[in-house]
Amino acid sequence: MNGVTSSILCAVTILLHLADGDIYLHNPRGSNNRLDESSRARANGNNIFDSQNNERGGYNVGSLFYYQGSTLSVEWTNQHSCHDTNNHCELVLQYMCHDNIRDGVSTQTIPTNPALCANYNCDLDRKYRMHEDSSHYFQCLYRQRNKGIFTADQNMNNRERARNTRQNPAGTRRGYECPEERDYYPYWHPSPWVDIAVMTNDVSRCHYYRNESQNVKSKWDCVFPKAVMDKFKVNRVNVQLPNNEEDCKKFELPAKIKSDIRKPQWVEFPAHGVAAPDCRETDFTRDNHLGNGIGGYPNMFNWTIPNNVEHENCILRIRYNISTSDYDGWTANSSFNANPRRRNDGAKVPLADRFGFESEEIAKERGYIFKNNPVVNVFDGLDLDLRLAVNTAQFGRTFQDRSHTFAIRKRPDWLQGQTVHNLNVRGKRGNIVQVYPAVEYDFVPNDLEVAVGDYVHMQWTGSNTNPRNNDGQGLAGTDRNNLILLTAQKFAEGSGTADYRGAKHGHYGTNYPMRAENSTFLGLSQEDALTLAFLDPGQFRGEVSELDDAGTYFNLSPRKTTSAGTYQYMCTRNNNFSNRDQKGRVVVNASPFKREAIGQMGGEVALDNGAARMSVEENTFSSLKNVRLEKWSVSEGEAAMSRVNRALGAGDDYASDFVVLQPENLIEEGDDDKFFTLRIQLSDDSDDVDVYYAPSDFSAWSKADAHVGGGVATVRAQHGGVYVARSKSNVGMIVGVVIACVVVVVIVSGAVFYFRRNPTKWQAVKTNCRNAERSMKNKV
């Protein structure tokens, strides 16, 4: 090998320099800076925020409205993994609402020069999309950046404002977003964004996030009145507003600016005054696999739409922050920065120890330097080098997507106090190659489980300006959706476990819909079924076989589910077996249930009306669990037991409903000293009650560790499974009577089946037995 070409340069991809698809919001639809353009690539990546995403991502439109307190399954895909060993990852979900927030009608970036806007006021010029307002941006533009921050070996010379960051050293502008605010969370200056949730690989930071969130903590900034700020630009002066109280109080305007007000004020911006954000573990995704999480479904966060907000113009924001373990992003600070005059020597991030070099000097000689594109000598003594694709601006990088505007509306009276689930459509017209990194059509949540009596709010939207050659049925370029019931699965058999829905086998009525006269969807009326099929009213006659004449937007106001069952459905227009599949499922559960993601930070899941509540203290669970709490009536519980030929021998009579907690495995092995609390409402105030526990297959009942008082049993528990309270017998006579009743009810062959179908009869027998018990008791 000759000396001149002794280096073989080989790019080892650690992080690609080109953005190649990173976080995409699918429900609500993320814009990725798109606004109805018909081109495959978005028109302007700097339109309103810095996404760092691939230009092909995003949806053209996406405005829907949600009722206060309803559940919205926020779905996204992220590309570079989460909850995996290959990076540190945070997902930060926020929203904001304001009268001036708008999607606009142009893909041009909103100007900063008021002369370019209608009435000399860009904040009010509805031509341009606006999220944050101009004062947010101008504060950022003129404020000194946080000099304590790690900027690695990036060129920060004369880049001194909050718009210059390690990830955006040149301070490129996107809308009125502030780069420093974007790159860092929780931010130390005011931000209009209200925090919803932080999901992180490192929940030990949760207290910090929750404390520092502007939801609960006021923030400060050094401000001049707008009229004074406007002069900075006109005078082209290099004003640098201090970012701390001390300097702010000392600051005075340079002499060449004429102004009556010469000193800024250090102003407190109040907290948003809402609860601190949820903070929990992230879900697993593999890197370089933009797609689904474990189990094949997209990762999601079920957002309860805030009850205290009523607004027509809101935006949802998701940030995806990944950092490498090559340095500690959370402790590295400016003392690690490269010498500004010798940036090629790299940042002062120690690498020697980690790779077993005797000193940093020796590590440096071998090319182990924290800087852009280092060339490393891996094989000692061999003159062969490898070039690493390192970009310190992206070695720790935040991606982002934001929704189109949506509304949060007050509930009408008839919806007060009800549980409301949003059911929407994601995806856009085209095959997977044409739409990627967006997705093909699908319903969201694809697999929705509700309880009988819950409301489902079906609503979707789409665009008429998809690329005209994208595959799909109906008029070129258009999105349309409908919802039609499929037939039941062919082979259905209860497995007899506590999951009383049972195991089902075989396919649903595949690609032909169910005859409408034989069916109901969720118990809805035939009229609703017609509306869902033809998107009518909204369109009177016209071409409806492929819905071409219907609009892109559809809303069936919330409907009450009245009929338990599993409903598999499809969209007749878009479903095209072997090309595209648009099917979904709603399970209407006969019994009430609630679900909550609970991890190391603890949490609570409670059934309505206090029937049962599970509370988990911090540091009880060692990983995130999707906890589901369900209530069965006594007859349902008995039926489930009888299906596997099990019975609960202990105790006399039921003193509560059956409470079913899933998953079974809640406390990890080795955490035997940890417990959570399960509170079960009892049928009366009697203290003579024991709580029994069985795994979901009822294989063995045992007495739970419960404290009883005031009509409530408080169980110290470690397992998911089935819990039920039974009254204790103190008197032989009572036992006799109760056993007699139980014998009559249970032993008679076929009785359980009978009572399962006729629960009121069972209730009657039970009440008689209870009355018998009471009357005996009274006599004692």
548 binding ligand NAG? (CB under 6 A): no
Contacts of 207 (CB under 8 A, 6+ apart): none
List residues bridging with 476 in a β-sheet.
none
With CB atoms as reference, the residue minimizing the distance to ligand NAG is 329
Number of neighbours of residue 646 by Cβ within 10 angstroms: 16
151 binding ligand NAG? (CB under 6 A): no
Quick note: the x/- pattern for ligand NAG over 82-121, rule CB under 6 A, is --------x-x-----------------------------
* CB closer to ligand NAG out of 171 and 509: 509
* CB closer to ligand NAG out of 574 and 714: 574
Cβ proximity of 459 and 62 under 8 Å = no
**What is the nearest approach in angstroms of ligand NAG to the Cβ of residue 604?**
13
**What is the nearest approach in angstroms of ligand NAG to the Cβ of residue 628?**
8
Nearest CA to 192 out of 241, 267, 135 is that of 135
28 binding ligand NAG? (CB under 6 A): no
List residues bridging with 594 in a β-sheet.
629
330 binding ligand NAG? (CB under 6 A): yes
Cβ proximity of 27 and 462 under 8 Å = no
Quick note: the x/- pattern for ligand NAG over 187-226, rule CB under 6 A, is --------------------xx--x---------------
Contacts of 395 (CB under 8 A, 6+ apart): 15, 152, 323, 324, 326, 327
Burial class from Cβ neighbours inside 10 Å (0-12, 13-18, 19+) for residue 65 reads: middle
Cβ proximity of 437 and 24 under 8 Å = yes
603 binding ligand NAG? (CB under 6 A): no
**What is the nearest approach in angstroms of ligand NAG to the Cβ of residue 295?**
10
Of the candidate residues 242, 329, 350, 695, the single one contacting ligand NAG (CB under 6 A): 329
Cβ proximity of 686 and 738 under 8 Å = no
* CB closer to ligand NAG out of 557 and 579: 579
447 binding ligand NAG? (CB under 6 A): yes
- Residue by residue, DSSP assigns 412-445 as PGGGTT--EEEEEEE--SS-HHHHTTS---EEES
User: Token match 């599993």: residue?
Assistant: 566
Of the candidate residues 321, 392, 424, 727, the single one contacting ligand NAG (CB under 6 A): 321
592 binding ligand NAG? (CB under 6 A): no
Burial class from Cβ neighbours inside 10 Å (0-12, 13-18, 19+) for residue 633 reads: middle
Q: What tokens appear for 474 in the block? A: 């109906």
Pairing state between β 88-97 and 194-200: antiparallel
Please give the distance of CA 753 from its chain centroid, rounded to a whole number: 42
Of the candidate residues 36, 123, 326, 471, the single one contacting ligand NAG (CB under 6 A): 471
The CA-atom distances, in angstroms, between 64 and each of 67, 308, 423, 545, 552 are 10, 18, 11, 25, 11
Instruction: Give CA–CA dist 776/780, Å, rounded.
Output: 6
302 binding ligand NAG? (CB under 6 A): yes
Count residues binding ligand NAG (CB under 6 A): 37
User: Token match 């006799």: residue?
Assistant: 736
**What is the nearest approach in angstroms of ligand NAG to the Cβ of residue 456?**
10
**What is the nearest approach in angstroms of ligand NAG to the Cβ of residue 577?**
8
595 binding ligand NAG? (CB under 6 A): yes
Contacts (CB under 6 A) with ligand NAG, residues 334-393? 334-335
**What is the nearest approach in angstroms of ligand NAG to the Cβ of residue 329?**
2
Of the candidate residues 49, 137, 185, 303, the single one contacting ligand NAG (CB under 6 A): 185
**What is the nearest approach in angstroms of ligand NAG to the Cβ of residue 279?**
11
657 binding ligand NAG? (CB under 6 A): no
Stretch that binds ligand NAG, among 15-23, 332-340, 565-573, 639-647 (CB under 6 A): 332-340
582 binding ligand NAG? (CB under 6 A): no
**What is the nearest approach in angstroms of ligand NAG to the Cβ of residue 488?**
10
Cβ proximity of 455 and 561 under 8 Å = yes
Contact residues for ligand NAG, defined by CB under 6 A: 73, 90, 92, 148, 183-185, 207-208, 211, 300, 302, 319, 321, 323, 329-331, 333-335, 396, 398, 445, 447-449, 471, 473, 515, 517-518, 576, 579, 595, 597, 626
